Amino acid sequence: MKNAILIHGKPGKDEYYDSNFPSASNFHWFPWLQKQLLIKGIPTQAPEMFNAWQPDYQIWSNELKRQEITPETILVGHSCGAGFIVQWLSEHKDVKVGKIVLVAPWLGPIGNSEADDEPIGGFFKFEIDTELANRVDSITIFNSDNDTESIHNAVARIRQAIPSVDYKEFHNHGHFCGSDLGKDEFPELLEEILR
């Protein structure tokens, strides 16, 4: 049976600890998307990653392993969550899924110092599996022309490693957060998932 798993990104520390902000899995377009997929008959989970402001790859991996992942599963990740999906699938070459949608994928900071290249909690020091496309029905990247350099760098790395990825560029959508979109709905993403 088809199901979906939505992986949120890395919030700031202040946002994570601010009781006025929703949890990362309940922020931006995540609740709206989960509801829309449920209405369409697709069981959907949006796991909350512990201490998401300071991501730890092993914690995120353990959380993902608790989810049902089949050859029909749809994986949707935003920012750090999208980078996590690429890393996890690159390191689990026996796993097949139905569809992957990477929204503003992030593969770590870029900069001029060695500190910028240090892995964050075990994240991002990996080789992208160039055969990943052979284990999925489709991979789509959503990118905005006015996102940050580190996002554009990650998108370029993924597209170079997996040339068959379906690339969709948006104008002035920032990092695809609710504040960038001006709303919590993300119909283009829903359409892509259901396509």
> DSSP strand E in 12-165: where?
44-45, 74-78, 97-103, 136-144
How many structural domains compose the chain?
Answer: 1
Rounded to whole angstroms, how far apart are CA atoms 74 and 100? 6
Beta-bridged to residue 140, according to DSSP, are 101, 166
Rounded to whole angstroms, how far apart are CA atoms 108 and 115? 11
Say which CATH number the domain at 134 has: 3.40.50.1820
C-beta of residue 148 within 8 angstroms of C-beta of residue 175: yes
How confident is the prediction along the chain (195 residues), in pLDDT tens digits per residue? Answer: 899 999 999 999 999 999 998 999 999 999 999 999 999 999 999 999 999 999 999 999 999 999 999 999 999 999 999 999 999 999 999 999 999 999 999 998 764 434 444 557 788 888 999 999 999 999 999 999 999 999 999 999 999 999 999 999 999 999 999 999 989 999 999 999 999
Backbone φ and ψ for 45, nearest 5 degrees, come out as -115, 145
- State in Å, rounded, how far the first CA of the chain is from the last one: 17
- Give the per-residue pLDDT at 124: 83
* CA diameter of the chain: 48
Q: Domain limits at 177?
A: 4-194
C-beta of residue 10 within 8 angstroms of C-beta of residue 52: yes
CB atoms within 10 A of CB 65: 10
C-beta of residue 158 within 8 angstroms of C-beta of residue 105: yes
C-beta of residue 123 within 8 angstroms of C-beta of residue 108: yes
Number of helices (H) and strands (E), helices first, in the chain?
7, 6
